[in-house]
């Protein structure tokens, strides 16, 4: 997809090949640290359940789970591990955990990269409507996001196809994946009922559903309100934030650099960003999470017919 950046002439083919080198070591460190953080925090949440500190670990649990989507995005690009099978395995594992169909999400996301911000072709924009203040808050905070995700699972399970941009093979792959996942969810439900356990609710679904908004801050800031025109330097934002958020979002704050060169792995995005924009001697459109929210909410209060287009699914 690097043809989007061919006219910039800021990175030589050799340098791009170097930056695009994948690493199983880096993949294991990142994937292992995210999974390890969830396992450790689950133990702490269990230990402090019923204590006020339990609230702290509940919040952390939800954030860690919600931000697994950042990993799914990277696995869809197959840039986390050098070994393709590891990308696919952990992509399925993460997707199952946060109720996402990886096959559908990957197909939509590739269209998003090909036609970024094109209202008629960007699969992550097709069918969306301009935000109102109410619909915006419902999406950022999670309720409408979860409605859309669960509807996807139900439609794919029942064989209802509402995705005209999917090929027959892509749809069949998504349908098969979701039906397999549904079997897994059913087994978890049966085991939970059999043992009269609320663990799946306490440590998984409830924190995930409540804290989804943290990942939505990333999701909503990347493109919303940018021009519906071709050109990554004008339709995509970079997000200025701290090291903790960069770790949680797998460096997707360097979103302009990622869209210019999607084959570059997450761990090389800071270097890629510096190289591109140091050479160009200018910064891409850049904003903080807080500034973007303040701007959006003020705009939506002032303008009842906002031009900012909504997004039906999580996007990168």
Quote the percentage of the chain above a pLDDT of 90.
85
Q: Cβ(220)–Cβ(291) under 8 Å?
A: no
Does 305 score more than 60 pLDDT? Answer: no
Q: Cβ(213)–Cβ(140) under 8 Å?
A: yes
Does 257 score more than 90 pLDDT? Answer: yes
Q: Cβ(267)–Cβ(26) under 8 Å?
A: yes
Q: What average pLDDT is seen over the chain?
A: 92
Q: Model pTM? A: 0.92
Phi-psi region of 35 (alpha: psi -120 to 50; beta: other; left: phi over 0): alpha
pLDDT at 315: 32
- Segment 86-136, tens digit of pLDDT: 999 999 999 999 999 999 999 999 999 999 999 999 999 988 888 999 999
Measured at the CA of 147, the angle between CA 194 and CA 166, to 5 degrees, comes to: 105
- Segment 186-225, tens digit of pLDDT: 999 999 999 999 999 999 999 999 999 999 999 999 999 9
**Collapsing DSSP states into helix, strand and coil, what is residue 168?**
helix
Name the pLDDT band for 316 (thresholds 50, 70, 90): very low
Can you give the residue ranges of every domain in the chain? 2-301
């Amino acid at each position: 997809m690097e043809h989007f950046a061919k006219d910039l002439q800021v990175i030589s083919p050799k340098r791009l090949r170097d930056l695009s080198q994948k690493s199983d070591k880096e993949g294991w460190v990142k994937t292992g640290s995210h999974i390890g953080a969830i396992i450790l925090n689950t133990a702490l949440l269990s230990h402090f359940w019923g204590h006020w500190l339990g609230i702290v670990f509940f919040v952390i649990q939800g954030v860690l789970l919600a931000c697994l989507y950042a990993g799914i995005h990277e696995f869809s690009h197959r840039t986390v591990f050098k070994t393709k099978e590891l990308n696919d395995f952990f992509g399925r594992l993460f997707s199952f955990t946060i109720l996402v169909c990886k096959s559908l999400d990957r197909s939509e996301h590739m269209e998003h990269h090909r036609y970024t911000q094109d209202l008629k072709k960007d699969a992550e924009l097709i069918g969306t409507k301009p935000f109102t203040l109410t619909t915006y808050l419902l999406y950022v905070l999670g309720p409408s996001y979860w409605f859309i995700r669960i509807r996807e699972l139900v439609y794919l399970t029942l064989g209802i196809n509402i995705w005209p941009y999917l090929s027959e093979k892509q749809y069949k792959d998504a349908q098969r994946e979701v039906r397999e996942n549904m079997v897994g969810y059913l087994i978890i439900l049966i085991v939970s009922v059999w043992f009269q356990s609320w663990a799946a609710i306490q440590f998984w679904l409830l924190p995930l559903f409540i804290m989804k908004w943290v990942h939505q801050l990333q999701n909503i800031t990347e493109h919303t309100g940018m021009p519906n025109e071709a050109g990554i330097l004008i339709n995509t934002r970079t997000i200025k934030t701290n090291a903790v958020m960069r770790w949680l979002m797998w460096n997707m704050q360097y979103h302009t650099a990622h869209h210019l060169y999607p084959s570059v792995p997450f761990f090389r995005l800071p270097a890629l960003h510096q190289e591109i924009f140091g050479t160009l001697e200018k910064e891409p459109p850049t904003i903080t999470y807080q500034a973007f929210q303040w701007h959006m909410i003020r705009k939506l209060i002032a303008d009842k017919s906002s031009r900012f287009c909504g997004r039906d699914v999580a996007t990168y």
